[in-house]
Structure 1
C-alpha cells in the first residue's frame, strides 16, 4: 500500500513539474539578463553576487515560505487560486458586509491582473527562447519575431485539444529541461566556485547600499525569478499540496539555483556574456538543441498559464462576475481541464500584439512584473484575512507574518511601478479593462434582478388566487427558471395570460452558485412543496462545477421527487435589457456596456444544459 502511495506521489509530482512549474522554470532564460540589461546595474563582481543573493532569497521567501508553506494552507475545499481564495474570504466575512465588499473588489482586481499576466508570460517566455538564435547565428536575428508569432499561433491552436492528449509529455519534457539547466549550472559553478558566496544575505544588503536607486530598479527584474508562483496555488486542486511541495524542494528549486549560480559564475569570468548569460552558458555544439528544448518548455509554460485563465474564467462565470461563455471540457478524468474558445482567441491576439509591439524580451521585461506583483500583494491580504477570521490567528501573529510578507511583496510591486512608462502600462491597462468588465457585469446583473423583483407579484397570494379562481389544468410538469423563488416568474404570468392554462405541477426553480468549489451532497437540492400543485426547488452548485440542471433534476429521484423529462417543459424569461432609465444604478456608458455584454452572453438555457426541445422562452423587457 505504501509503495502504491509512493508511486502515486511520484506521478503527481512529475505532473506538477510540467504543469505547475513551467512558468517559473523558464525564468532563467531572461531574469539575470534583465538585471544587468540596458536599464539594470553594471555587471561588476559585487553586483553579480548581490543579484544572485537577491534571486536566492526571493525564491526562498516568496516561493518556499510564502506560497508553499503559508498561502497553500488557505484552500477552499482543496481548490486554490485567487478566485477560490476570494470566495473563501467572502465566506469568512458574511457578517461584515463592508469588509466583504472590499475583499471582493481586491480579489476581482487580482483576478483581472492575472489576465494581464496571461498575455505577458507567453510573449516574454517564447520570445526569450527563440532569441537563442541571436547567439547561435546572429544573421537570423530578424527571424526571431516571425518565428515567435508562429509559435504563439500554434500554441493557440493547440489549446482546443486540451491537456488531456498532450499532458502526458508535459512532465517528462520539463523534467528534461530542469535536468539540462541544472547540468549547465554545475558546469558554470565548477569553473568559478566562489560564486556560491552569494548564498549569504549580506551580499543582497550590500547590493542596495552600493547601487541605491539603480538597485531598486534591478529589484523589478529580480521578481522575474518568482513569476508563476500563482500557478502553485491555482493548480493545488489538480495535484494537492504534497506533490507540489515535493516537486519544488527535491527537484525544481535545486535545478533553478544551480542554473542561476552557473550563469552568475559565467558573468564573473566574462562580463561580455551578460547580454544573454543563459545561452552563453550552453556549449556551442548544443545551442540549437537547447533552443528547441527551451522553446518546448516555454510553450508548456505558456499553455499552463493560458489554461489557468480558462479555469479562472469558468469560476468567475459561475460566481457571476463575467458573462456566460461556451466552455469545452478537454478531459474526461479531470473537470478542471477546460477550454474557453472566446478567451483563447482574445489572449492569442493580445499575445501576438505584445510580441510584435515590444519585439524583444528586453522590452517585454519592462512590461512584466506589475501584474504578477500586484496579484501577489492581493493574495497576501486575502490570505491574512482568512488566517485571522477562519483560522483564528492572534493579531500579533497576523501582524508579524503579514508585515514580513508585505514588505517583500510591496518592495517588488514598488520596483515595478516605476516601469509603467517603459511598458508596464500594458498589463496594467489590460487588468483595468478586465476589472471594469467584471464589475460592470456584476453590478448590471444586480440591477436586472432588482427590477425583476420590484415588478414581480408575491407567490403566496398568487397561489391563493389560483385556488379560488382555478384556470384550466394540463398534464405534465412546468419548470419556471427564476432568481426569486418567492415571486411569480414573468414566464408563468405570460403563459397564464396568453395560453390561459396551468400545468398539474408548477416548479419555481432557482439555481444558486455557492462560494465553495464543490457543493456537498446535502446542499444539492432543496425542495419546498406549496399548495395548489406549486413547489419551490433550489439547485446548488459549487463555482468549480458545471450547472447541469437536467442531471441535478434526475438526482431528485433519490428524495422521492420524480421528473419525467419527456413530460416536463421549461419556461424561461429572456430579458431584453434597456439602458438609460432614471433609476439609480450605473453611469449611462456602463449601462450600455452591460447591455452589449448581455446581448453577446451565452443563453442561460444553454449554460444550464436545458434541452432545446423541452424549452419555451418568453420575452420580457427590463429597464436599468
Structure 2
C-alpha cells in the first residue's frame, strides 16, 4: 500500500468532519445574509433593482474570496501555535514572540476573546430563529409559535450539552454535507433560469455599487458581512482537524455551494421581486419547503453546537492562561481530549441566548447586532497576526505590514459599517464584550494583588530547609505534597502546617504547576524533579493551555525519575484563601468586590487539578484585597 493511499481516507474523513463542525456557522448564513443586505439596499417585495442585486452579490462574492479564502484559509491558518488556532492561541504566540506579556497586546487579545462570547450568544439565537421562521412559508398557522418553537429547540440544545457531542458529532458532517449539496442545487436551478446574475462575478459591480450609494453602501456592507460570519471558526477549530482538511472542505464543498446559493437567490428576486419576503426558502419548490425547513433547522443546531463547543474551549484556554477563575470542567469523551463540558459557561450562554430571542423576536432584528462581534474579532486577529508575521515568522516589518495592513483596513471598513447599526442592536455584543473584559481584567489585577500580599510574608524555600536542618522536627510517615505558584518560596500551606502541627512528613514535595504558551506538552516534557535535601524534593508539572491538568497522572510520571509515587500514602496539603475587602486597596472597591465574588465561586484547586478529595487537607489563610 502506498503512502498516498493510506493518507487519503484519513484526509477525506477529517474533511467531512470539518464540514460539519467548522462550516456549520458560515454555512447557514444564506438563510439571512442576502435578504438583509437587499433590505438594507432598499429592496422590497414590490421592487428590486438589477444593479442592487448585482452589487450585493458581487460584494458577497469578493468578501468570501478575500476575507475567508485569502485571509483565513490561505494566510492565517499558517499562524498556528503547534497546530492550534484562535484568538487566544494567537495571543500566546504574539506574547512569546515579543518575549513576555505586553499590556496593549493583552488588551487586544482580551477584547477579541470577549467578542467571541458575544458571537457565541448571538449565533444560536439568529440561526435557529431564521430557520424556524421558514415554517411560516409552509403555513401561516405556525406564525404564533415561531418564538416558542425556537426557544424549545435552544433549551433542548443546551440541555444535551452535558451528554457530550461525541454521539451527535458523527452525524454533523453528513448532515452539513447534504445541506451544502441541497442549497447549491437549489441555487443552480435558479441561475439556469436567470443566467445574467453571473455578471456579479466581476468585482467592478461591487465597486460601482459602493461608489454610487455613499453612506447607504456602507450600511449594505454591514449587512453583507453576515455572509462571512463564522470565518473565525476556520482558524479556531484548526487544532481539531488540521490545516489541510479545513482547506479542502472550503475549496471543494463550502465555497462553491455558498456562491451557487447566493447567486440563485439573486436570480430568483430578479425574476420575481415578491420573493424578497424570504429568498432563501423561495429558491426551492413549494413541495420541498417543509423538508428544507427541517434540514435548515438541523443545520442551524449544528452551527450553534460548533460555537457553544468553541466557547467551552476558549474558556478553558482563558483559565489556563490565568485570565479567568477556575471552573468545573467535565470530559465527555474518552477518545477526544478536546470534547469538554463546562456547566457554568453552558448556563450563562443559555440565559443570554433566551434573553436575545425574547428581546429581539426575529432574525432580522438580531442580524443588526450580529456583525459587530465578528468584525471586532477579525480586527484583533489581523492586528495580532501582523505582530506574529514580523516577530515569529521573521518577515521584515515592511513586508509584514504590506501583507496584513490591507486586510486590517478591510476589516476596519466592515467594523465601521457595522458600527452604523450600533443603536439598532449593535450595542449588545459590544456591551457583552466589555462585561467579559471587565471580568478578565478584575481577575488579572486581583490575582496580582493577592500574590503580592502573600509574597510579603514568604520565606525562601532554601532558608526554610536550612532552618529545619538545624532544628529537626518530629516526623510522621507518608508523603505530603504542597502546591505553590513560586518554587523559590516555601508554600503558605507548609508554613501553616509547621506553625500549627509542629511535625514534618517523611517525604515533602514542593509542587509547582505551570502552563506553557503552547497548546499541548509531550509526556516526556511534563515533569521536572530535583532533590533539594533529605526528605525534600521539588517537582514542576507543565501542561499546555489547551490541556486540563491532572496532578495524580502527572506525578505518576515521577516513577521514571526515581520517586515511587503512591497516591494512597500521599496527602495533598493545600492553602485555601479567605479574601476580605481591605480599607487600603490597590485596586478600585468594585473591582476588588468582583474579584472576591469570582474567587469564592471558583472551582476548588482539588477539583480543577483532579486530586482525589479523600487525599486533600486544606489550611485556611486570610488575605485582604
Please report how far the alpha carbon of residue 583 of structure 1 lies from its aligned counterpart in structure 2 after TM superposition.
Answer: 4.4
Please report how far the alpha carbon of residue 533 of structure 1 lies from its aligned counterpart in structure 2 after TM superposition.
Answer: 2.1
For residue 93 of structure 1, the aligned residue among 59, 84, 98 is 98
Is 1:175 the counterpart of 2:177? The answer is yes
For residue 372 of structure 1, the aligned residue among 371, 374, 378 is 374
Is 1:401 the counterpart of 2:399? The answer is no
Please report how far the alpha carbon of residue 529 of structure 1 lies from its aligned counterpart in structure 2 after TM superposition.
Answer: 1.6
Take 1:523 and 1:243, find their aligned partners in 2: how far apart are those partners?
Answer: 29
Q: Who is 2:423 aligned against?
A: 421
Please report how far the alpha carbon of residue 136 of structure 1 lies from its aligned counterpart in structure 2 after TM superposition.
Answer: 2.1
Take 1:372 and 1:615, find their aligned partners in 2: how far apart are those partners?
Answer: 44
Is 1:121 the counterpart of 2:119? The answer is no
Is 1:18 the counterpart of 2:20? The answer is yes
Please report how far the alpha carbon of residue 472 of structure 1 lies from its aligned counterpart in structure 2 after TM superposition.
Answer: 0.6
The 8 Å contact of residues 130 and 148 in structure 1, kept in 2 or not, is answered as yes
Shifted more, 517-526 versus 250-259: the winner is: 517-526
Take 2:596 and 2:354, find their aligned partners in 1: how far apart are those partners?
Answer: 29
> Number of residue pairs matched?
620
Please report how far the alpha carbon of residue 578 of structure 1 lies from its aligned counterpart in structure 2 after TM superposition.
Answer: 1.2
User: 1:31-90 CA distances to partner (integer Å, 9 max, x unpaired)?
Assistant: 011012267567310010000000000000000000011111011111111111111111
- Aligned CA-pair RMSD: 1.3
Is 1:218 the counterpart of 2:223? The answer is no
Shifted more, 128-137 versus 596-605: the winner is: 128-137
Please report how far the alpha carbon of residue 354 of structure 1 lies from its aligned counterpart in structure 2 after TM superposition.
Answer: 0.6
The 8 Å contact of residues 385 and 404 in structure 2, kept in 1 or not, is answered as no
Please report how far the alpha carbon of residue 175 of structure 1 lies from its aligned counterpart in structure 2 after TM superposition.
Answer: 0.8
TM-score (norm 2): 0.97
Take 1:298 and 1:112, find their aligned partners in 2: how far apart are those partners?
Answer: 23
User: 1:519-544 CA distances to partner (integer Å, 9 max, x unpaired)?
Assistant: 23453122222124222211111111
Shifted more, 7-16 versus 486-495: the winner is: 486-495
Q: Who is 2:86 aligned against?
A: 81
Q: Who is 1:500 aligned against?
A: 502
TM-score (norm 1): 0.97
The 8 Å contact of residues 55 and 222 in structure 1, kept in 2 or not, is answered as yes
The 8 Å contact of residues 34 and 40 in structure 1, kept in 2 or not, is answered as no
Q: Who is 2:290 aligned against?
A: 288
Secondary structure at 2:621's aligned position in 1? strand
Secondary structure at 1:15's aligned position in 2? helix
Q: Who is 2:580 aligned against?
A: 578
The 8 Å contact of residues 453 and 484 in structure 1, kept in 2 or not, is answered as no
Q: Who is 2:533 aligned against?
A: 531
Q: Who is 1:622 aligned against?
A: 623
Please report how far the alpha carbon of residue 611 of structure 1 lies from its aligned counterpart in structure 2 after TM superposition.
Answer: 1.3
For residue 207 of structure 1, the aligned residue among 203, 206, 209 is 209
Secondary structure at 2:519's aligned position in 1? coil
Is 1:49 the counterpart of 2:51? The answer is no
Secondary structure at 2:39's aligned position in 1? coil
Q: Who is 2:4 aligned against?
A: 2
Shifted more, 459-468 versus 226-235: the winner is: 459-468
For residue 103 of structure 1, the aligned residue among 93, 102, 105 is 105
Q: Who is 2:566 aligned against?
A: 564
Please report how far the alpha carbon of residue 427 of structure 1 lies from its aligned counterpart in structure 2 after TM superposition.
Answer: 1.1
Cα 1:38–1:90 change in 2 (3 A) is: closer
Cα 1:400–1:41 change in 2 (3 A) is: farther
The gaps in structure 1 that reach 5 residues or longer are none
Take 1:40 and 1:127, find their aligned partners in 2: how far apart are those partners?
Answer: 23
The 8 Å contact of residues 40 and 223 in structure 2, kept in 1 or not, is answered as no
Is 1:433 the counterpart of 2:438? The answer is no
Take 1:40 and 1:158, find their aligned partners in 2: how far apart are those partners?
Answer: 41
Secondary structure at 1:212's aligned position in 2? helix
The 8 Å contact of residues 41 and 215 in structure 1, kept in 2 or not, is answered as no
User: 1:92-140 CA distances to partner (integer Å, 9 max, x unpaired)?
Assistant: 1115x5xx22111111110000000001111111111111122222342
The 8 Å contact of residues 27 and 227 in structure 1, kept in 2 or not, is answered as yes
Take 1:133 and 1:604, find their aligned partners in 2: how far apart are those partners?
Answer: 49
Take 2:179 and 2:569, find their aligned partners in 1: how far apart are those partners?
Answer: 58
User: 1:542-587 CA distances to partner (integer Å, 9 max, x unpaired)?
Assistant: 1111110110100011111221212211111100011224142x11
Q: Who is 1:543 aligned against?
A: 545
Matches within 5 A, 1:253-264: 253-264=255-266
Please report how far the alpha carbon of residue 396 of structure 1 lies from its aligned counterpart in structure 2 after TM superposition.
Answer: 2.3
Take 2:436 and 2:283, find their aligned partners in 1: how far apart are those partners?
Answer: 40
Take 2:293 and 2:331, find their aligned partners in 1: how far apart are those partners?
Answer: 32
Secondary structure at 2:30's aligned position in 1? helix
Q: Who is 2:602 aligned against?
A: 601
Take 1:618 and 1:406, find their aligned partners in 2: how far apart are those partners?
Answer: 51
Is 1:197 the counterpart of 2:202? The answer is no
The 8 Å contact of residues 82 and 111 in structure 1, kept in 2 or not, is answered as yes
The 8 Å contact of residues 330 and 340 in structure 2, kept in 1 or not, is answered as yes
The 8 Å contact of residues 29 and 226 in structure 2, kept in 1 or not, is answered as yes
Please report how far the alpha carbon of residue 446 of structure 1 lies from its aligned counterpart in structure 2 after TM superposition.
Answer: 1.6
Q: Who is 2:457 aligned against?
A: 455
User: 1:148-167 CA distances to partner (integer Å, 9 max, x unpaired)?
Assistant: 11110111112122221111
Take 2:190 and 2:584, find their aligned partners in 1: how far apart are those partners?
Answer: 70
